[in-house]
Amino acid sequence: MKRLFTSTVILAAIAAATPAFAAPDTMQQTHNPVAIGMFVVFVAATLFITKWAARKNHSVSDHYAAGGKITGFQNGWAIAGDYMSAASLLGISALVFSSGYDGLIYSIGFLASWPIILFLIAEPLRNLGRYTLADVVSYRLKQRPIRAFAASSSIVIVLLYLVSQMVGAGKLVELLFGFSYTWAVLLVGALMVVYVFFGGMLATTWIQIIKAVLLLAGAAFMAFMVLSRFGFSLNALFSQAIAAHPKHAAIMRPGGLVSDPVSAVSLGLALIFGTAGLPHILMRFFTVGDVKAARKSILYATGIVGIGYALIIVIGFGTIALVATDPHYHNANGSMIGGVNMVAIHLAHAVGGNVFLGFICAVAFSTILAVVAGLTLAGSSAVSHDLYANVIRKGQATDREELRVSRLTTLVLGVLAVLLGLVFEKQNIAFIVSLTFSIAASSNFPVLLLSIYWRGLTTRGAVCGGTLGLVSAVTLTILSPTVWVQVLGHAHATYPYEYPALFSMIIAFAGTWLFSVTDSSRSAVEERELFDNQLVRCEIGVRTALSKT
Amino acid sequence: MEHTAASPVPGLDDPPIPRRQVTRHPELDDPRFRTLVRERRTFAWTLTVVMLTIYFSFILTLAFRPAMLGHPIVSGQPMTWGIPVGFTMFVVTFALVALYVHRANAVYDMMAAQVRRGVEP
């Protein structure tokens, strides 16, 4: 295994070193030696961590959950690292850059999902599950159908999320380090496979922790430098931003993001409940030892993510004030170099020069690596633990076999992620992040919530309702103006609203209820009877001597 | 303190529940268990409703009365009501999380431990 690790790392290093530096000629920062230097240091550090973690990565429990030995404090940072994707730093600052106040709306929704997870999901999840959310829902439901459903919907979410991260990574690395897009995507794919294949959850966790620390430190420095330009007066910053922005004072008011009430509520529902259905986030709760540590992780994560978003909002207004009118960051035709998503990177240069620019480039890249590693692990565990070990082998697979399948899946996911990244290079994928949240809120979340709190839930109800939610979220997104008109080029959208969650969640909950209450099979009766015993384990987290017989 | 490496996670290595021969857990008849479930769930769902109310009040204000949040706090200055309201949302979110964690650590963990001790030999 060690030799395999070394040779893979060498291969990845060659892949990273050989690309013709086919730099896009519009970018003045290509060949930034500081950026490339910091990037190399970061990658070397993560590979060193992976090597260290690989020595401790023996069993299925190590691989999926770091043996349950992560502390609440560490897990809080890791959750923040898993959760704050490149969409947070670059996407939200870009949203503030283009429409001001609207950037706050997204970040408030992303943060507000954490109390919901804490109050309703985290403790039962920790007490009832081992490695995947399917463990929880299959506690009293039929193993094979429910795991097949939960694994499928988790894989759909993971793949969509991976597409958004891979395309973002490809564009970012192309721009920052001067690699071609193809090489950039290959590099990200190779690194994420190495991390997860060898280091499992332990390596993934530490990469996420380091990324979160770097991201928070970078964002804090950038926000500090922005405020220092304005004598630490928010009003002075806002005044300058209003003067610089073409929309002027409108940037201080809610704008077009949530113009109609249905879209507003739909987006709100997707943001606040979607996180509770994201498999890579839920998986993090299995890495801590008990419910107390799970709670502590959320307390730290909420604090870290909240501070991070507050800083990113300041950074966003900083980009309006300092980058928007500076010709240095614009092409000859007046467009932003690298597109609007790069404004935070330009701001790093504006307030901290080349060295800080290099640092923020490395942070942005590490952000993507940490998220794709978490996604890959969640996807591979859904395949190996749910589909292979429990659906195909009916629980008879050995640890060794399950681990082998998990690693094989990691390789497959790496190849798939690279291919999808290449296919979607030129596509407008802005809708994908909200689509993943909508799917998670309409498939995994209803099934998970009802399995914990509703005695009446049966296997048939969970599988039918969850599938209806998933299908309706995808269908409504395709029919919405964002995809039907803007991506597919049709004249009018069949579904008039931007986001599907309001309807797809109602369909999911109603479908689950209907198919459960009409289920009078013998197994349905048993599943309802088992609810009481599930309640005991869910609440006090231990099986008593009697129930073990 | 954190969970230590030596003690395995409670219950994680149990075999799957045997089908068709459901043995009722004795805790279900323990009045303390019923109190724990009732109190914790009431508290958790109340906080959930509070969070959802605050959040959707914000979202619906955005949708129906955007001008309210776009009004300057001090006339002539750029700061609108929306900015402090938005940042207060961050603070409230964290405060609710902290409130739950505090109460769970102080009250519910102890109640759960009593129930566990009460049934185990």
Most A-contacting residue of B62, B88, B108 (CB-CB within 10 A), to test interface: B62
How many angstroms from the chain centroid is the CA of residue A441? 14
Query: Which residue positions in chain B have pLDDT lower than 70?
Result: 1-22, 119-121
What does the DSSP 8-state code read for residue A285?
Answer: G
Is there a contact between A72 and A324 (Cβ–Cβ < 8 Å)?
A: no
- In Å, how far is B108's CA from the nearest CA of chain A? 9
- In Å, how far is A547's CA from the nearest CA of chain B? 6
Hey, is A288 helix, strand or coil? strand
Query: Which residue's structure tokens are 């409230």?
Result: B92
pTM: 0.89
Cα separation, B92 vs A310, whole angstroms = 13
Q: How many CB pairs under 8 A join A and B?
A: 220
What are the start-end ranges of the H helices in A424-517? Answer: 431-442, 444-453, 459-479, 501-517
Interchain contact, B11 vs A530, CB within 8 Å: no
- In Å, how far is B35's CA from the nearest CA of chain A? 11
Cα separation, A494 vs A482, whole angstroms = 11
Residues of chain B numbered 77-96 and touching chain A (CB < 8 Å):
77-80, 82-83, 86-87, 89-91, 93-94, 96
Question: Which chain B residue is nearest to residue A143, measuring alpha carbons?
Answer: B16
| Position A549 in a domain | no
| Position A498 in a domain | no
| Position A463 in a domain | no
Instruction: Name the nearest CA neighbour of B35 among B100, B120, B118.
Output: B118
Given this model, what pLDDT does residue A38 score?
A: 87
pLDDT tens, chain A, 549 aa long: 556 666 666 555 544 444 433 334 344 445 678 888 888 899 999 999 999 999 999 999 999 999 999 999 999 999 999 999 877 888 889 889 988 888 888 889 899 999 999 999 999 999 999 899 999 999 999 999 999 999 999 999 999 999 988 988 888 887 777 778 999 899 999 999 999 999 999 999 999 999 999 999 999 999 999 999 999 999 999 999 999 998 888 888 887 666 678 888 898 999 999 999 999 999 999 999 899 999 999 999 999 999 999 999 999 999 999 998 888 888 888 888 878 888 999 999 999 988 898 899 888 888 899 999 999 999 999 999 999 999 999 989 999 999 999 999 999 999 999 999 999 888 777 788 888 999 999 999 999 999 999 999 999 999 999 999 999 999 999 998 888 888 888 888 888 888 899 999 999 999 999 999 999 999 999 999 999 989 988 988 864 433 332
Q: What radius of gyration do chain B's Cα atoms show? A: 23
Given this model, what pLDDT does residue A66 score?
A: 94
Interchain contact, A253 vs B80, CB within 8 Å: yes
Cα separation, A278 vs A328, whole angstroms = 40
- Residue B111 phi, psi (nearest 5): -60, -40
Strand partners, B80: B72
Please report, for the domain that includes residue A207, its CATH number.
Answer: 1.20.1730.10
Which tokens belong to A128?
């009832």
Question: Which chain B residue is nearest to residue A540, measuring alpha carbons?
Answer: B112
**How far separated are the first and last CA of chain A, in Å rounded?**
40
| Position A525 in a domain | no
Q: At what angle do helices A261-274 and A501-517 cross, to 10 degrees?
A: 60
Is there a contact between A371 and A86 (Cβ–Cβ < 8 Å)?
A: yes
Cα separation, B59 vs A349, whole angstroms = 35
Identify residue B55 by its one-letter amino acid code.
Answer: Y
- In Å, how far is B105's CA from the nearest CA of chain A? 7
Cα separation, A258 vs A262, whole angstroms = 9
The domain segmentation of chain B, as residue ranges, is 26-119
Interchain contact, A298 vs B105, CB within 8 Å: no
Q: Is B4 on the interface with A (CB under 8 A)?
A: yes
- In Å, how far is B47's CA from the nearest CA of chain A? 7
Interchain contact, B93 vs A114, CB within 8 Å: yes
- Residue A330 phi, psi (nearest 5): -120, 150
- Residue A288 phi, psi (nearest 5): -105, 160
Q: Is B56 on the interface with A (CB under 8 A)?
A: yes
The vertex-A265 CA angle with A260 and A270, nearest 5°, equals: 130
The vertex-A72 CA angle with A71 and A76, nearest 5°, equals: 120
Cα separation, A196 vs A198, whole angstroms = 6
Percent of residues, chain B, with pLDDT higher than 90: 46
Q: Is B117 on the interface with A (CB under 8 A)?
A: no
- In Å, how far is B73's CA from the nearest CA of chain A? 11
Interchain contact, A254 vs B69, CB within 8 Å: yes
Cα separation, A320 vs A96, whole angstroms = 8
**Integer CA distances (angstroms), A543 to A455, A534, A540, B32, B87, in order:** 19, 10, 9, 17, 43
Identify residue A422 by its one-letter amino acid code.
Answer: L
Helix, strand, coil % in chain B, rounded to nearest 5: 65, 0, 30
Using a CB-CB cut-off of 8 Å, the residues of chain A touching B101 are 118, 295-296, 298-299
Given this model, what pLDDT does residue B120 score?
A: 52
Interchain contact, B5 vs A140, CB within 8 Å: no
Which tokens belong to A96?
């503030």
Question: Which chain B residue is nearest to residue A317, measuring alpha carbons?
Answer: B83
Query: Which residue's structure tokens are 């670059």?
Result: A90
Is there a contact between B93 and B51 (Cβ–Cβ < 8 Å)?
A: yes
- In Å, how far is A543's CA from the nearest CA of chain B? 6
**Integer CA distances (angstroms), B23 to A500, A545, A546, B18, B20, in order:** 43, 11, 8, 9, 9
For residue A209, is it left (φ>0), alpha (ψ between -120 and 50) or beta? alpha
Given this model, what pLDDT does residue B16 score?
A: 53
Burial category of B75 from C-beta neighbours within 10 Å (exposed 0-12, middle 13-18, buried 19 and up): exposed
Please name the member of A104, A296, A546 whose beta carbon is closest to the beta carbon of B86. Answer: A104
- In Å, how far is A464's CA from the nearest CA of chain B? 23
Please name the member of B5, B20, B63 whose beta carbon is closest to the beta carbon of A264. Answer: B63
Residues of chain B numbered 31-50 and touching chain A (CB < 8 Å):
33, 36-37, 40, 44-45, 47-48
Using a CB-CB cut-off of 8 Å, the residues of chain B touching A252 are 70, 72, 78-80, 82-83
| Position A465 in a domain | no
Cα separation, A507 vs A467, whole angstroms = 10
Domain count of the fold of chain A = 1
Using a CB-CB cut-off of 8 Å, the residues of chain B touching A130 are 12
**Integer CA distances (angstroms), A306 to A114, A119, A211, A300, A429, in order:** 10, 18, 16, 10, 26
Instruction: Name the nearest CA neighbour of A379 among A415, A345, A329, A355.
Output: A415
Hey, is A341 helix, strand or coil? helix
Is there a contact between A218 and A313 (Cβ–Cβ < 8 Å)?
A: no
Most A-contacting residue of B7, B12, B57 (CB-CB within 10 A), to test interface: B12
CB count in 10 Å sphere of residue A275: 24
| Position A480 in a domain | no
What does the DSSP 8-state code read for residue A332?
Answer: T
Write out the residue range of the structural domain in which residue A208 sits.
2-427
